[in-house]
Every structure is written in C-alpha cells, then in structure tokens.
Chain A
C-alpha cells in the first residue's frame, strides 16, 4: 500500500504527519519511507537514517560534434525547451533547460549529436531503525525536480507484499507533486484551519481528484484559525481523518527535530487512530468522496 502525504500550502505539517505515521506503523509493519520533496528534503532530520548508498540522478543532454554537423538547424526547430540553438556556425546548448527528451539526438539527420549524462541530483537510501528510508536531493541550481522524484520512487518499486510505503510530497500542485502523488493508493492532505490552508487545500483536492487518488484531510494546528476549513470539508463530503491541536510544546518538539509519537503519549494514540481511520476509509475511498 502506498500512502502519500501532500498539502497544497507549504509548512502545514506534511513531514510531521509522514514521519510520525511511519514511526507508529514501523512498530508492527514493514515500512518504506520516501522523501519526495527533493527541493527541500527534511524527513531525514527527524528519522535520522543511517545512509547505506547513493546514486546520481542524471538527464541525458546533447553534445554536438561540429565536424559532423551540417548546420541544417533541425535540432533548434524541434527542441521544445529552447535548450539547443544553432547560431551562425555554432550550435549552442543550454543543459539547464534540457529535459532530456532525446529529440535532437534522434532526429539529427547527420547523427552529429550524442548524449551525455548531466547530474541534476542524487538519491540516497538507508535505514532508520526498521524503516527503509530513501530521499532525493535536487542539485542546487538545477530546476528539474520530477526526474529525481521518479528516481526515488523507482528505487522502491516492487516492495515485498504487505509493505506500507509512505511518500512525503513537496508543497504545491504542479509537476513535482504530481510525480510524487500519482500511483498512490491513498493521499493524506495536511492542512491548517486558516484561510491560506483552506484555499490551498481546495487546489490540492482538485489535484488528487484529477489523479484519481482517494484522499482524506488531516487538520494540523487545530484551534489556530477559524471554522471555514471544517465547513468546507463537510460541504464537500471530504473525510476529516485526524486533528492535531496547536500546542506550543508540539511546535517546540518539531523545532528540535523531535518525534511527537515518542515524546507525547496522546500523539502516539492519535497516530494509531489515524491509521485505523485510513484503513477504514481507504477501501471506500476508491469511489471519490
């Protein structure tokens, strides 16, 4: 089973929910954790995994052999990303714009273009106790996050039957989030009861609906804000799976990289009950709320 944790708005508590759920489940289940927020991965700060290996993530970028090139300009015409540009007698390439589609290489009539891998980030893996942990890290200055998200997920395909995979997604609703959340069996949307939280939740709901992933909402920092969020969920028939109240002590625990379920018994109960609620909701969730 794959459960992704997403949010729309940043800073609502995705990582908090993801790591505490993982720690709770790891007591009885086999858990695989994937931090797919490859721009700003944070889960390792809380899970503190011992890393065992890493692999570069690359995109194939074009290298032009100017001897073989007959300056026909075909590569510039077909590149949808403006990453290759014939200019006078030279062919300029802009590796940071290249999406690695291979079009120029494939369609060059003289075969003057070959591909070389360009590193855009790294995937690292290891264990945090019994939890199998993988995260990705976008190389600073590289714009392209989705290939790294896909690399994190590819490493953890074909997990043994019964493994519960938990995906910590990046904020937002665009391509890196879609890459993280798609193919999940269930998605937890973490939000807070403020107008920002509500507004961005509505975007996240549209996204998971477009991806046809069953979902429910976790309300974090309950008590800070107003009733708009709860009213929205009720009106739209969206299951509210758990509420984490705002307490300064929880914020302080998070600040230090602490784990709520280990420091506060009531939180452990809350996450156990969240899991039961997910299990009760998920099968029905195949028909969208």
Chain B
C-alpha cells in the first residue's frame, strides 16, 4: 500500500481540485480495490464538497486538556498568573480568569496551584468522519474553531485511513494536504511514499514551493511537482521547471488555467468524472490532469 500526499505550501494552488480528479481517475483505472481518500486539511477541509460523502461514522477528537478554574477554591494568590507563559490567565480583583483560547494546555498552573483550584478538562476540539463516496472511502475532519493541535487530528485522520486501506486491501491512499509548512503539514508528510507539490507560476507560488521542498527533504519521500495554471505566466513557469531540473525533481504535469475547473467546482464535481468518456468532452485542464495522474500513478506503482 502506498500513500500519496498532495501538498502546496501556498494555499489555493489547486490541491483539492487535483485530489478530486485523482479520486475519479483512480476509480476508473485498474486499481483492484477502492482507493482510500484522506483530507488532511483539517482546518479548512474542502474535499467533501466535490466527493459528496455520506457520513458513516462520526468520532469526537479530544485535543489537549485545558485548564478550568473552580472559583470557590481559588484564594486569588495568583501563582498561576506568574507561571503561565501563554498569557492565558488574567488577574482580577476577586479572582483569576482563564482564557480558554489562549490556554496551551500545558497544565503548569494546575500543578502549581496551592489550593488545587485548577483542573485539566477534556475539550472536544473537533470531529473526524469516515464516509462513503462514489470514489471510495473518505476520512475527513473538522477542527473546532480556534482550536489547537491540528497536527494531532491529522495523525488521527491518517491512522484511520491506513486502517481502512489495510482492511479492504487497498493499494493507494490519496491525501489532500494542508497549506503551510508547520505542524499539520509535518504530520501529513511523515511516512508518506510520494508527495506531489502543486504550485502556480507566481512569485509567491515559487517562494512557498521552495520552502516546502526544503521541508520535504527532511523526510525520506519521493517528491514531484505539478505546475497548475502554468499558462498564467510562462516565464515564472519556466523558472519553476529550471528549479526542479537543477534538483532532479520530476515535473509530473502542467495544467492550464481553465474556467471549466471553476464550473465543475460550482457543480460540486471533480473536473474529470466517469461521464467524460470521449476526449472531446474533457476540458483542457481535465486532459492535463489525466496525464499528470498517469505519471503519478506510474511512480506509485514502482
């Protein structure tokens, strides 16, 4: 079983659009068992908008416990205020107040409180879901608003995706990654076999791809690049290709800007679907993504 992660550094380069198309193409190809899909962008998950899941299971995600004050025990000594390094505790005249959004969950205040007035309480920091889609099982999640620990939730999503893949003897997990290079990205990346970086020909796209590639180099994974909307700037696209050539990174595909992509999205469909049986019915972007898939799939099979 292989894990393919689609990732970008910069947001909005087209990760989810490409994962949606891959889901459809994997379904249509000769894969013997369903591909398992995972949405690791737990902060702003969107894959479900094109895969039309019907939710089979919903699980609570417990983040780190957070500090809760029992005001009847508090004698306002403010020892907690002094030790909290996250400015989550404010001293008032009568008592102290713990601000849950700022609380990091370190529990130092609860250990230090001489009156044992602070306890650490479980917080439902989000939910994760196992769903059926026309393209195979999907594991996705919703982190609670302003919650922390997106990395831990990503780990839960991936663990479940792997468990399902083993149960149904699937050969491939395709994950839609989060933007950035921080904690949820690191959690998405560790242990995958192949990362496809989706970039765009803009100065920001190049800058962010370079930082993401540097991060990926710290993991033992195969990296390839797709230039989305490559025809919006041929010069910057050429720069990206040069960058990749110099580092022996395969440019697995170049996808043109295509308003049909937005139209498919508005309909809530992958840009390529089983209805597109003849070449003429496929949009230019769909044809390019099909070629990209052939290349990525070939590498997955190696």
Binding site for B on A (CB under 8 A): 7-12, 15, 37, 39-40, 42, 45-46, 78, 80-81, 99-103, 106-107, 138, 140-145, 170-178, 182, 194-196, 199-200, 203, 206-207, 210-211, 224-226, 248, 251-252, 254-257
Contact = CB atoms under 8 A, between A and B. Distances in A.
Nearest to B105: A80
A10 B266 contact: no
A78 B111 contact: yes
Contacts of A138: 181-182
A112 B233 CA distance: 58
Contacts of B111: 78, 103, 107
Nearest to A145: B182
Interface stretch (B30-38, B42-50, B285-293): B42-50
B16 interface: yes
Contacts of A11: 10-13, 179
Given A172-B43, A178-B101, A42 B208 contact: yes
Interface in B42-77: 43-44, 46, 49, 64-65
Interface stretch (B130-138, B159-167, B199-207): B199-207
B175 interface: no
Given A11-B12, A140-B215, A174 B179 contact: no
28 contacts: A9-B46, A10-B11, A11-B12, A39-B182, A46-B203, A78-B107, A81-B106, A103-B107, A103-B108, A103-B111, A106-B83, A106-B112, A107-B112, A141-B215, A145-B182, A170-B180, A171-B179, A172-B44, A174-B184, A176-B180, A195-B265, A196-B16, A200-B44, A207-B146, A252-B233, A254-B202, A255-B202, A256-B202
Given A40-B9, A141-B186, A174-B148, 18 more contacts: A42-B208, A101-B106, A106-B112, A138-B181, A141-B218, A143-B186, A171-B179, A172-B178, A172-B180, A174-B43, A175-B146, A176-B182, A224-B262, A226-B266, A251-B232, A255-B200, A255-B232, A256-B233
Interface of B: 8-13, 16, 43-44, 46, 49, 64-65, 83, 85-86, 101, 104-108, 111-112, 143, 145-148, 150-151, 178-186, 200-204, 207-208, 211, 214-215, 218, 232-233, 236, 259, 262, 265-266, 268
A80 B106 contact: yes
A40 B207 contact: yes
A199 B211 CA distance: 28
Contacts of B49: 195-196, 199
